[in-house]
Structure 1
Amino acid sequence: MATSAELNILSLLTQSALSSACIKFYPKGCNYPPLEVSYSELLDISSKKAAWLRQQDSFREGSITLIHFKSHLDNIIWFWASIIAGNVPALSPPLVNTSEGRHAHFQHLWRILENPLVLTSESLIRDDFVENDALFVIPVESSAEFDLDCATDPAKNRSGISHFNTNYTVESNTRSQLKGIATLALTSGSSGHSKAVCLGHEQIFASLRGKLTAAPIPENGCLLNWIGLDHVASLVEMHLLAMFTCVTQVQIQAVEVLSNPLGFLHLLSENKVSMTFAPDFFLARLLGTLDQIPPGDHCLKDIDLSHLQFLTSGGELNNVDTGFRVIEHLRQLGVKPANLIIPGFGMTEICAGGIFNKNFPAIDKKIMREFGVLGEPVPGLKMRISPLERGNTRALEENKDLERKSGLINEVGQLEVQGPIVFSRYLNDQEATKQSFTSDGWFQTGDLAKIDTQGQLYLEGRLKELININSVKYLPYEIEDAIEAARIPGVEPSFIACFSHRNLESPTSPEMIYVVYQQQYDWDDIKARFNALHAIVRTVVLVTSSRPQVLPLPAGCLQKTSLGKLSRPKIRSALVEGKWQEHEHVNEKELAAYRNENLTVPSNKTEEKLVTLFQEALGVDVEMDVDMPILDTGISSVELMRLKRVVELSFNIEELPMIIILTNTTIRSLAEAIHKLQGSQNVGEYKPVVTLQPNGEGSKVPLWLFHPGVGEILIFLGLAQHFPDRPVYAFRPRGFNPGEKPFHNQEDLLEAYYRGLKEKQPKGPYAMAGYSYGSVLAFELSKRLEAEGETVQFLASFNLPPHIKQRMRTLDWTAGLIHIAHFCDIISQERADKLNSELRSGEISHRDQIATVLAESEPERTARLGLTPQSLFTWVNVALSLQKIGWTYDPSGMVSRMDIFYCQPLKDVASSREEYRNDKLNHWTDFARDVKYHEVGGEHYTMIGPEHLPKFQQTLKRVMAARGL
């Protein structure tokens, strides 16, 4: 192993040449034994190539050599030859497919690398450099003849190095700007504008030492690399690390691994590999392969993975369930470590991985996380979180500097790093270098993240990729993950990119969400195109309440990096530059033709008017199918309430009960209901069950939702639409519709709900969840079902302790009104406290109290919510009836299991989450044999609101899956 005194990476080659270790290069197809090249032979071959390189007329010692080959063997040989010859190598990344992109890339490299010498093959000159008119490129085929000459005439080898001279160091006669630089790594920038990251000798050695603290390589270990050598992880974390520890390394092309995950396992077994790299997308592919193999199948019998110690992972967040299941499979093949997979955070600027989670997936699974944390930095690296608003500010105010130096804890901000592992500059780009470092010398990674009290890093996304829609910020990967999770037919998994976009023809137009995906269907399959569009729009609306632009592209348009990632900046640039304009035009034409041929159009004036009202409510100008389920459009609760009000005004209906809209699920059926209502004003018999998810009938165990104390079920609308494959029902209390009398005791309420449940779902297993007050209703109904021998497989409480009597007794008509106003976001919590005193200061009638509250909100807000004095009066009366039922409630009995989802409590209930969890919610253990607690975002009234719903529904689904649903 190299010592710290030999801080030149050439010593890695010279010292590893003294060992018996080698590099195994697998040819394309893996049908032949690998070519084994010892480190001693590599030194000898590279020395001869260096001698040939120095004899070329175009060679300039101390300059930059750009190395462009497809095979690992060629890249490694010429990487070391360049160093031995006295130059600084830069490994060329894959080229873009377009002629314009390649031409711009070559021009850019000529500028930032100062006219480098390009080494490649004759075939690649013909294939890859057609658009080149800037770089000097020479083929290396003639070097083979020079090697033969060197064998007979050693005097021709003028590189000045012999593999017997282990103390050789390159003379420091390079240009001053390259002094101390071992190699240049080219980042994958948008539009081909890569930055050249200067990786220094000392930096690389510090990185190698740090990596070994996270993944110590056994003395007789072996590393396997399948990523292109242009990627810093494969160069430093695999190739150089193997030489640093003097162990054997295996090099194989990525296509061989990606196309044959099972063959990958055979390679690990045959070569007794200790460590390799496996990003999350490949782990998912490996899991899919292993899941399909029956236990004991002969295809696994010869695989022995007892030598495998580490699967490092990076490039994207690691799914905890995927990691756990992969490890379970691999343990059947001899793997010993339970923490085999090591997720990490890395960048080119810090020599790949520098922060690692060595306790994955056990700790993440224990706390029910969907994606693993990224862990702690290795020695040689420090990290901190800087406030976002000052993340790019170079001149900090003195009183704020201390906050930055100490870093934020448990708050999302910009991730910054510092230490000997961090690079010093971008070559020939002073402005980018200046903008990347803070005034106190910390590198700004551009990532959104947080660090918890235990020093663990959580990644949230890229700062520059935040999507800002109506002042609400969204992370692209959250929207992409939602589309992935929806498993939409016709959408190629992992080929989805989401970013913000503005119509260039209208500079004042607002930002919108743009989704690009690779299609699986034939280009002329118009129905599949339309169905995919509808499903994507519906999914994005659920996450963001904003309708996206969607563009399908055929295979080959969206290129991935060697780590399997799509570059959002490059995709967005291609869109802006008009490279997909033809696809956009075809897409619009095909969709318009489908709508004209297949949509059911209005057949009367009522339907025509409703279509217009829906288009206005949803903010779309495309035609709507009158037979499409209303809730299937992705309409939000606010939009639905607004629609209710505009329908009332348009059709001159004094009060349109929301139940009419919820139970008449299409425009056609709603038109018929409105026609009947105008004639009779008779709503019909009270029915306690409302179907919120119309597309899930009969596919999975239904989810039953119990309303909070305000009695409103529209709050579940957004949540229900995240379950397209599961029926979702909600119980609505009596009293909202004309002629209905509210419930006055719990027995009558539960009996009505029980009958409604049994009518829809006669047999279990059952899944139930109550929001706030609804938790005790779900608990009581679950007790009855279990007493009858039924199975309640899932019972959840959203932020409510079991003992509510004292809290309920503090609520009266005025308190109910204020709570509903706060619930509707008409007033703030602070204003609610003051208004509570004001409304009680004199003899103020209920009608006047309502007028006072409505005056607190802008007319536009109340109109959007469909709030009128009469509807609010009815609502408060229903809420009061439910609260009175709770005045005498005492929990008793026991259920089998319960999951408690908790967030920031109401101010007058507890002062903190911790107090609420430990002193209030903990009492559920007295009434359930198996209780689990799950912390979620938001406050009591916002936990399933638009801002927090995307993550809440993920947690809910994960917990339901853990309960077997």
Structure 2
Amino acid sequence: MAPAPTTTAVVFSQPNTLHDVITQAADRYPLHELSFITSSAHNTSIQTKTFSAFNQYVRNLARAMLDWRKPTGSVVVMYLTEHEDNMAGVWACLLAGYVPCLQPALSAQQAHKEDHIIHIKNLFGSATWLTSELGTEQINSVFGLEIHLFSELKLSAEKFTVAADWVPYEAQPDDDAILFLTSGSTGFSKAVVHTHRTILAACRAKGQNYGLTSESQVFNWVGFDHVAGSLEMHITPLLYGASQLHAHASAVLADPIRLLRLIDEKSIELAFAPNFLLSKLTRDLEKRTDLFGSFDLSSIKRINSGGEAVVSKTAQAFAATMKQLSKNPSTVSFVISAGFGMSETCAGCIYDTVDVLATEPAHEFLDLGRPIDGCEMRIVDPADGATPRPDRECGELQVRGQMVFVRYYNNAEATSSSFVEGGWFRTGDIGIIENGVMRLKGRIKDTIIVHGASYGIPELETHLQSVEGVTHSFLTVAPYRTPGQETEGFVIFYSPTFDLDGADASTKLFATHRALLDICVKIITLPPQFVIPIPVNLMEKTTLGKLSRARYIARADELLSEAHRPSFIAPSTQTEKALAKIYAGIFNLAESKISTSDNFFELGGTSIDAIRLKREGEAHFGLPEISIIQIIKHPIVSSLANYYDPIFSLQLTGNKTPIFFVHPGVGEVLIFINFAKYFQNERPFYALRARGFEPGHPFFTSMDEMVSCYTAAVKRTQAMGPYAIAGYSYGGVVAFEVAKRLEAMGEEVKFVGLVNIPPHIADRMHEIDWTGGMLNLSYFLGLVSKYDANDLAHALRPLTRKEQLEVVWKLSPLERLVELQLTPEKLHHWVDIAGSLIECGKDYNPSGSVSAVDVFYANPLRGSKADWLNNQLKSWSGFSRGEPSYTDVPGQHYTLMDVDHVLQFHKIFRGRLEARGL
């Protein structure tokens, strides 16, 4: 049972616990603000809560948490995406007497992800998770987890309005407060235990070092699960009463100019940006010469940078670009403060502050500086971990102070081995102290640091040893960084099991290297810079020092180039070219190096890169939403191109203006294949296919969404007018709307062809139920006759959808089913696609006009042709600024493009194109 609630109204001048921090912030600075920018592509607004409102919000959440009836001190694993949710969840846990453990993004590799979740469950002796609906999908494959949805917790909290100082128990300074997980990306994570005392000691010293006051404005875009995001950029400024703005990294990376606007508009004083993000920002911002001199950047005083070494040239380039973008460069004076810290030290505990433009850095990487108050550092002999080394001599870096963690959760052995006599914590890094300033030289631990996260080399090597083509135990991985590279990389050296001079060496190399790449990307999100195959007689086991790295890198380039040549396929469609350009921009590669067979994640795509791909793809292709899941499912250029592009190239020869033809109401473009071939050597023929046919593709949900998608696709394929747009049946109204959009963009549309469809379709759409849609599709596909379709409608409606399909399936000619490669499931799905198009048309009300319309009419589905023309189709005259044409074509609505009529229809259609000057 949860303990009975108690209250306290004491305001501490020097907080002793984190409870005191939030109480003091709400009491002293009630109107100061916590602001948030989410990762949503469609919500770019800033959501704000005052300290007072946030305090009330999290205390209500804490009260709702007590209904879980967990014992005080229980660990709750926090797995949330947005800063506000994470922040609120952490404070609610603290106030409720629980211990939050911040879980970073889980591995994309299912087996590794499940192993980690099981390890966490065993480590804590329980499995309580607070997450989102999406997070639940990722973790629910592991049996025995207690999962609470944050959305449900918020709903429960709305029932409560507790006192502004309510807590169910009194925290003590040495109580466990927050747990942080070490990366454990190739092994098992350790949980770093921080108490109220260690966190407050760190935050007090950090705030003094940063010069924070209650008037400071802080901007953070590091994930809240990272110790820098939560302690350094939230609790520290909250302790000093400083207002804060927290943004998902994607919100800045997708639009780097936003960072400048925020500094300008919000008078940001302090921010945090790891080296690899500084590098990405610099690459994007230095291109925007059109915005030089546009922003007031005088408020920014300090940018902290940690997680990995900061390249001096990157820091200088970033600072120089910021000055160029400033309205008054002379007022821009900020330091990029490289720092050293770990989860075990509450993030940064050693900092250097340097104006990299005023003072030339002495080394390739920025120095890391001096300890904050209350922290000590020393360099010792790594052999014994105790004997101090003289100034300017390399050795093991050790630190101690009140901000150092107290233990690893439930891991006494790891805790004991991390400390030496005197309370010195062994960081595992090699450093030099010169005149009191520290810089790193390497690591004792076998780790690679990629984008600020550490990965164990031995565990990675274990996985790589299993690849077919690798001689067991003759593989090693070495950290490797080229000058100016934005993050650390690595090289794989291995001896192949096959002859490198053999006739099939290229093929075997390609297969082996692809397997090695796949493992690396799945485990540490980054491919190796080089994979170096070395004959076994030239490679001594695990003895990197005896290898000539330059020689084997040169040999590997030669062999890899030969192995990749057969698989390189240059992008051909406009969509593939556009994606290749986006991929090249993200990975800083030449467009000519991107093959349609390239895999986004094998190129090194991270979760941040995927969000950038999503944002740039949505902007370029005019799509309202691209699911990250679809990027994960379709990471290869050619596959993702098919996801993005509704355009099918049915005929590409000829120099005349291309024709774009929109699908009929069934969504498919098969009907156009025979028609398109008659334009061979005359003009390209493109067909627009509805969304939803490919696995995982969402259906269109509105006419506006469909028209936006198709207009963007037409513009990608043909950048400038004049345009020729047509649509068959239902597709006619879509073509009309696309033509309107193009004209609104200032483009010339010379031809708008409308095939057997009136402008007003909403009433007809409301008449078609699922059964009617299924029978229309079946007739259109040649599965049933027109008479069967009419006769079956009444009889089928009382049946279930499955039963209706079974009846139609039995009536369908076997040869037609084989020809269309249909299955009952595919037919059902196709009916659903057609139904989605019907739903999009139910609210359609035509308006506006285009330069001119060409209407083609055949025998209608019902009624006479004369009535169809005069009372339905001629309504198009009200939507045409020029003189419309109405042309009779042979056949009926569903047969005007079949083999009996297509040649005649082509001649008529071609004549109208020529009449419009095309």
- TM-score where L is the length of structure 2: 0.50
- TM-score where L is the length of structure 1: 0.47
